[in-house]
Chains A and B, each alone.
Chain A
Amino acid sequence: MLRYILRRLLYMTPILFGVSLVIFLILHLVPGDPARLVAGLDATQEDVKIVRSSLGLDRPLPVQYLSWLGNLLHGDLGRSARTHRPVTQELRLTFPATVELTLSATVVAVLIGVAAGTIAAVRRNSVFDYTSMVVALLGVCTPSFWLGLMLMLVFAVKLDLLPTTGRGGLENLVLPAVTLGAGAAAIIARVTRSSMLEVLGMDYIRTAHAKGLAARAVVLRHAVKNALIPVITVIGLEFGYLLAGAVVTETVFAYPGVGWLLVEAIGFRDYPVIQGALLLLALQFALVNLVVDILYAFVDPRISYG
């Protein structure tokens, strides 16, 4: 197992290298001159030139990439073109916030999704089944900026229960986590339901019923555990997408995370910040996939890694 993990970690290196190269190339293909954007619209050509040379953008592209890569190996991601803060510092400030938000959103999504999906499968074709699946469909379709603003208007402004924005205690996390988790909850609910339906139709479930086990025990002990594999895959994937979804949610709730940092950086073509943030997100995505694969082995003893 340990060797497997080490090998997977090793494989990640070329992947991340490829990611960094693709990011770099795409960034330089997209129109937009960072020097002009940083210098400002009313800046003269001379100002723009000064900014360009101070950002190192007057060097040839391969030189820029290699010097970035060289610094990366020393743990230096460069400095933001706009704020001059080191990118590592920007990420250190924002990344924990995003992880916090994404994890709480995942908890919300898993709690609601697995519970609703399981109940819907067990009580197939009941009112609960239909309503929860319609709600799930709506959940997938609702744009998170709209949902976020609506939740804010109801729970923060009208009912005055929660703060509107910002990061701090648990109370700041409720609305963004629900907003971010809603879509994932819906998908998890649907996957759980269909996976459960498949398992519930299996022979061994009939056997379990036949030998007189309580319905609850059949569902919880026998069915859910076996239905979980596809659900875990989806949760892993959703966790990755949640990081991307955090871009919108963080902006709506003025929540100081990587997503918001990234949006701003893209607006200003702040290359060092974009490259650093995307690399970090790619790394995290890869790690989450690894964790998911390891979890399989725990849930299903038939799967083992040598």
Chain B
Amino acid sequence: MKQLRLLGVLVLGFLLVAVGLSSRALAAQAEKVITIAQYADAVSLDPQDTNDNASYSIEKPMIEGLIGFNEKMEQIPQLAERWDASPDARVYTFYLRKGVKFHDGTPFNAAAVKANFDRVRNPDNKLKRYTLYKIISQIDVINDSTVRFTLSEPFGAMIATFAHPAGGISSPTAVQKYGSDYGKNPVGTGPYKFTEWVPNDHITMVKNPDYWDKNNEAKVDKIIVKPVPEEGTRIAMLQKGDAQFINFVPYIQADVVKADRNLSLASTEAIYTFWVAMNTQKKPFNDVRVRQAMNYAIDKEAVIKAVLRGQGKPADSPLAPRVWGYTPVKTYPYDPAKAKALLAEAGYPNGFKTVLRGNVQTDQKDAMVAIQGQLQQVGVDAEILALPAAALTAERFKPLEENKMEMDLAGWSPSTGDADWGIRPLLTKENWPPTNFTVGFYTNPKVEESIKAALQTSDAAKRKAAYAEAQRVIMDDCPWIFLWVNNLLGGSRANVGGISLQPDAIGYYRSVYYK
């Protein structure tokens, strides 16, 4: 028995030391610190070499663009006070804010803007966002606070492309100084300054006391972002107060956060739409009646309730309502009888067998199971193939001849917030795999013409009209089963405000404050 007692004493001692150590941490709490638990670490902090939301979320409080987004994803002037575009959508002029300095003291001016975009559009620099800006053929410094971009061809969505998070402006001095290591030492103009990055542990930024906009300056002294991949762990951190905000809350945990009066759920309507692409080039989905039948066969409301715990609404266009250029078209009501009739008309009175591919993520798998069950009701036997992201991507980006895709559950958000990037990569022939994400191999000359027309002009009304036409045609053609527009969920401590997720799933951290 003595051994057992010894063991007990050891364990107790271990615990006591540990407790003593943790209370020590409470002493220094004078400065206002916000800790954010985020689902992943940053990959790079160079906006021009970033293509993931985890990195953008951390870059945004430090690095600003010519044009920014507010938390609703409406374009707002940031480092540019105003701008204009030539009617043929080829020449864009920006009038810059004066007296702004980067965190390292370098003045922000037209030369700095030119240096930034010259860097990204140079293919030798091998930056991930090269193709986004390679359309720029010439950049002219008109004077210290005016800069003019000329494009190689008309591109009506260019303003939105400048507002894209990749358009963040870095200090040219810092870019020069750090070279290929700039992504680990970001220097911008934002309300917070970078201080430290310990990979897979934390990134720290501190208040920039010299921020140019006194109305929107930092309201806390320090923001620490910790990568926490496990969802349950993030919730535990929030409940304990080890984190003041978590990005993100999974749908199945939404009620847990809501029920806790120390916490509050920050729900944001996303610019994502989720859908099941059908291979429009192969039987049976090359028949529009079959694709319509699939849309009638799915009870979207029921799926939203089950999978998203009600945090979403049925998609009534290929675009989400918060995307610029969105037009509500229609939803296909749940009507299994009509679905069956359409299938019979198309020559499949007894349905058919097919394969439904998607991601292994919990909510995606849940959605596939729900869709499978409802398709069964109209005689369609869909086998589920849930793949890890890497394997799924490999499958998706095969050219038509080798591509085994029949039905593919996916979601998309246009990170420019503009209709162009919400339709063109997904539903045009030039973007069939392996080029881009038109995973259903859809094409319709009417859609392609509308998109082209919209890109030839900078006139907002004309662009909107063209995209409206494209959306209507797509809804009739139904290359997808149109599912939902979801809400994105962040969780915060009840005494914290001004922080949420943007509609594009990038964290909106810069306005965070203690109530």
Which residues of A approach B to under 8 Å, CB–CB?
30-33, 36-48, 50-51, 54, 82-85, 90, 93-94, 111-112, 115, 118-119, 145, 149, 152-153, 156-157, 160-167, 169-171, 174, 216, 251-254, 256, 260-261, 263-264, 267-269
Contacts and interface: CB of A to CB of B under 8 A. Distances in A.
Task: Point out which of A39, A90, A216, A254 has the most chain B C-beta atoms below 10 A from its C-beta.
Answer: A254
A174 B18 contact: yes
A40 B51 CA distance: 6
The B contact surface, by secondary structure, is helix
A35 to B, nearest CB: 10
Nearest to B433: A45
Contacts of B230: 145, 149, 251-252, 254
B362 to A, nearest CB: 14
Task: Point out which of B14, B43, B130, B184 has the most chain A C-beta atoms below 10 A from its C-beta.
Answer: B14
A43 B390 contact: no
Contacts of B10: 111
A166 B242 CA distance: 10
B15 A174 contact: yes
B236 A42 contact: no
A171 B23 CA distance: 10
Interface of B: 2-4, 7, 10, 14-15, 17-19, 21-22, 37, 40, 43-44, 51-52, 123, 126, 128, 130-131, 180, 183-184, 198-202, 226-230, 232-233, 236-237, 239-240, 242, 388-391, 393-395, 397, 412, 415, 421, 425, 434-437
Contacts of A47: 128, 130-131
Contacts, number: 164
A47 to B, nearest CB: 5
A107 B425 CA distance: 55
Given A47-B131, A174-B15, A115 B3 contact: yes
Given A45-B436, A149-B236, A152-B233, 13 more contacts: A36-B394, A42-B425, A42-B436, A43-B131, A47-B128, A47-B131, A50-B130, A93-B200, A157-B236, A157-B239, A252-B232, A264-B40, A269-B390
Nearest to A256: B200
Of all A-B residue pairs in the complex, the 7 with the closest CB atoms, nearest first, are: A32-B390, A40-B51, A171-B18, A256-B200, A31-B394, A254-B228, A45-B435
A50 B124 CA distance: 9
Contact of A164 (B240, B395, B437): B240
Given A32-B390, A251-B230, A267-B388, A164 B237 contact: yes
Contacts of A85: 184, 199
Contact of B395 (A31, A111, A254, A268): A31
A164 B131 contact: no
A51 B389 CA distance: 18
A253 B128 contact: no
Contact of B22 (A44, A171, A251): A171
B360 to A, nearest CB: 11
A165 B233 contact: yes
A268 B123 CA distance: 24
Given A85-B199, A163-B242, A165-B242, A33 B128 contact: no
27 contacts: A33-B393, A33-B394, A36-B393, A39-B128, A40-B51, A42-B437, A44-B131, A44-B435, A48-B434, A50-B126, A85-B199, A112-B7, A152-B233, A153-B236, A163-B242, A165-B37, A166-B226, A169-B22, A216-B2, A251-B229, A254-B229, A256-B198, A256-B199, A256-B201, A260-B229, A264-B200, A267-B389
